[in-house]
Chains A and B, each alone.
Chain A
């Protein structure tokens, strides 16, 4: 079962709201990723967790706060976002070396 599940599929929030995106995988992968994708652009890496520890932060603004509560779950907490943060947010997982499997994404609109 190669499935990464993301919720919610769609989210609309105001600039003062706090919300969270959630990601879950049950493939035994120990690396999990957040990517951001704007229309007609490739995904851009935001964060990588390896064994539940943050390994890579691609200089993402602090209004995005990742969390990895356990090896199956990955959250992205959102606070005080800007309209330009509207995008498709993709979660992925992999073994430490190997193919990345992506979820369907959470489409975020910031008003």
Chain B
């Protein structure tokens, strides 16, 4: 069966510090991968998506970046965090096959920038 892992679960970082969040998927090959951010009491905002290794599309211009160094690994990074980067970060995957619409979400990382 497929599983998706994210770490860390919670993170408190000062403004201006770097960030690296990791997401890995097991039990599937060549998944589509997604990074979302959710502010408190709000919907999910798509940040990045990837259909393959090294292929990253950015949905929202900001101080975050993403990389996909391996087929089932997706990394979200920042060189200098802003207060507005606080939120719940969710990684998700989908099969990318025609007729498959479900996205499967990881447990998320709750980031607080102080």
A binds B: no
